Amino acid sequence: MTIYWDRCDLCGQYRPTSKCSLFPEIMVDVHCCFACPHREGKCKTPVWRVETLIQPQVSRKGLSDREKEKLLKELTTLLKTG
């Protein structure tokens, strides 16, 4: 899927648009896509989806160097004894 700054064929606003999956000849922005009445019916795979907007966030806190070192030591000890 390619997203680029373009003009929405439906509302005429300059916004990032994507090719409509139901009508490939038109470029649609996220707002019009979400407002589209076909979303609930004919359009099985809307080009704009919630998943495309919400990027999976890697929110897991990284270990500090000290913690890493400790963990590494523990692991090597385990490997040696195992």
Residues forming the site for Zn ion (CB under 5 A): 8, 10-11, 29, 32
Instruction: Please say which residue, 8 or 20, places its beta carbon nearer to Zn ion.
Output: 8
CB atoms within 10 A of CB 5: 8
Task: Decide: 39 and 33 in contact? Cβ < 8 Å.
Answer: yes
Instruction: Please say which residue, 3 or 63, places its beta carbon nearer to Zn ion.
Output: 3
Task: Decide: 39 and 46 in contact? Cβ < 8 Å.
Answer: yes
In the complex, what is the shortest distance from the CB of residue 69 to Zn ion, in angstroms, rounded to a whole number?
A: 53
Q: Which helix (H) or strand (E) element contains residue 27? A: strand 27-29
Say how far apart CA 67 and CA 72 lie, in whole Å. 8
Instruction: Please say which residue, 29 or 47, places its beta carbon nearer to Zn ion.
Output: 29
In the complex, what is the shortest distance from the CB of residue 9 to Zn ion, in angstroms, rounded to a whole number?
A: 8
In the complex, what is the shortest distance from the CB of residue 40 to Zn ion, in angstroms, rounded to a whole number?
A: 18
